[in-house]
Chain A
């Protein structure tokens, strides 16, 4: 697939370079807010909105931002969008705003956003940058929604807030599901993250064993713009 087209960027963000399971970025919100699938979707989409907007703006400004002060400049851009999104959430989705709490302002320092700004948006034209942001954001949303769904299902017997597994009720003598509470507490986040990362590694095992062939840019997916591999001789001619 041709590099830097919108569809390539989307697939790259969602599957090839999935920020949670492949790049292992943004661990703080991944571990902290995924107590339920709804929280996962909320956090993911909020991040996606900020990511897409900030990638677009940073890409547009990439010729004007001096190299020496690029980090503060990125932070200002990202923080502005986070403030806007935060106010919108507070106004229109107060329940989600309450449950995400502190983690909304923390999107400013989310390493996925700064990482994409630094690695991709600052070097590429606006349209691919926008789609890179959307792809990464959707990949993040998908991952943390999966984590949230597994934790919610095991830890409370619920899925998206609905009781899927009927709970046991000792007082009424009713048999049912006994929720494994540890999964909606902090250790559960680590268990589920590791489990899901292991499962997706299992499916990608073939690719992982082949590794990156420095002489062949097609093998690694050709994501040269965001690649830090200095051993690589391929691809840089683009």
Chain B
């Protein structure tokens, strides 16, 4: 008899969007920032990106093989982790460091906790912080020797954010906001150009991979905090100072690509708003009062750890439950 009914358990309605498709879209959305980084920092940056992505995929494959698990490299999540980690590396880093970072990200943070969907913090950022704590000198050495865009300052200097922290924004001597926006400045491979990151963000928004809740509450609460800080410290409102904080450093990359990682963000509507606000405030506190100039990566992995609590607090009441006991 011909089978007319397909008997199966729910869910019955499925979306065409799969994990690997989402991950591929994230890779595509990261391409503008990646290509800009390579153009900005030269061949060396391309090498760092290639090594980091390849080593991430390789560690994922090795772990699956050793643990006799199904091969998970086809879901592209290791590619995304590797690419994000690479975009967080300074271009002149010794190549074995990103390899160590991807080993930590993939094996310790992701696979030991159960693989994609079970990791308790963003693997790429955990890998970056591991390297940042271990090799602080090499990880903040942004000297560039060759770029594809011609005139590159070969001076080892403070990044715009570090200079901003020390002396505030000085008209004429500080890096112009225009450069911070377009990205011809020093920094890690992927964070310099706010424009390229925003192009990627538009791609993600257009394909509904992410929505605006977390990035906007993150950037919004950060802005509010910085404005309050400026007014309270007697600096007065300084638009350049604010924009330098927004476009300098890793805030844009973090807000659009890392804070929106599905696994490590709350799933409830209110929870996402709370999470975004936490991120903004914590980032601002780290940047303005902390020891180092940058605080985005620590802020995100710190708030990743708060996610279970935020979800518990914002868990919606089921229909018919709660309310007044009569």
Binding site for B on A (CB under 8 A): 178-183, 185, 187, 191
Nearest CB to that of A185 among chain B residues?
B133
A195: min CB distance to chain B, Å: 10
Contact A178 B133, beta carbon cutoff 8 Å? no
Chain B hits for A183, CB < 8 A: 134
| In the A-B complex, the 10 residue pairs with the closest CB atoms | A182-B134, A182-B133, A180-B134, A181-B134, A182-B130, A181-B133, A178-B135, A185-B133, A181-B135, A181-B136
Interface centre among B100, B134, B135, B138 (most CB of A within 10 A): B134
Q: Which residues of A have CB within 8 Å of B138?
A: 178
Taking the nearest CB of chain B, how far is it from the CB of A143, in angstroms?
A: 22
**Dominant secondary structure of chain B at its interface with chain A:** helix
Pairs across A and B, CB under 8 Å, 7 listed: A178-B138, A180-B134, A180-B135, A181-B134, A181-B135, A185-B133, A191-B108
Measured between beta carbons, the chain A residues less than 8 angstroms from B108 are 191
In the complex, A132→B38 CA distance in Å?
A: 64
Q: How large is the interface on B (under 10, 10 to 19, 20 to 34, 35 or more residues)?
A: under 10
Measured between alpha carbons, how far is A183 from B108 in the docked complex, in Å? 14
Q: Once the chains are docked, how many angstroms separate the CA of A191 from the CA of B136?
A: 19
Q: B134-146 CB contact bits vs A (8 Å, 1 = yes)?
A: 1110100000000
**Nearest CB to that of B94 among chain A residues?**
A178
Cα separation A187 to B298 with both chains bound (whole Å): 14
Chain B 123-170 interface residues, beta-carbon cutoff 8 Å to A: 130, 133-136, 138
Chain B residue nearest to A154 (CB atoms) is B134
- The digit string for B86-114, where 1 denotes a CB below 8 A from any CB of A, is 00000000100000100000001000000
Q: Give A201 Cβ to nearest chain B Cβ, in Å.
A: 14
Q: How long is the Cα–Cα vector from A183 to B133 in the complex, in angstroms?
A: 10
Q: How far does the alpha carbon of A178 sit from the alpha carbon of B135 in the complex, in Å?
A: 8
Residue in chain B with minimal CB distance to A184: B134
Measured in the bound complex, the distance between the Cα atoms of B136 and A183 in whole Å is: 14
Contact partners of B135 in chain A: CB under 8 A = 178, 180-181
Query: How far apart are B135's CB and chain A's nearest CB, in angstroms?
Result: 6
Residue of A nearest to B138 (CB): A178
A132 to chain B, nearest CB (A): 35
Nearest Cβ in chain A — how far from B67, in angstroms? 13
CA distance A41 to B5 in the complex (A): 71
Complex contacts, A180 vs chain B, CB 8 Å: 100, 134-135
Bound-state CA distance A179–B134 (Å) is 7
Question: A187 to B126, alpha carbons, bound, how many Å?
Answer: 12
Q: How far is the CB of B301 from chain A (nearest CB, A)?
A: 12
Contacts of A187 in B (CB 8 A): 133
CA–CA, A191 to B138, complex, Å?
23
A185 CA / B130 CA spacing, docked (Å): 11
Question: What separation, in Å, do the CA atoms of A180 and B97 have in the docked complex?
Answer: 10
CB of A205 to closest CB in B, whole Å: 15
Contact partners of B136 in chain A: CB under 8 A: 181
Closest Cβ–Cβ distance, residue A42 to chain B (whole Å): 26
B94: chain A residues within 8 A (beta carbon):
178
Which B residues are CB-close (under 8 A) to A178? 94, 135, 138
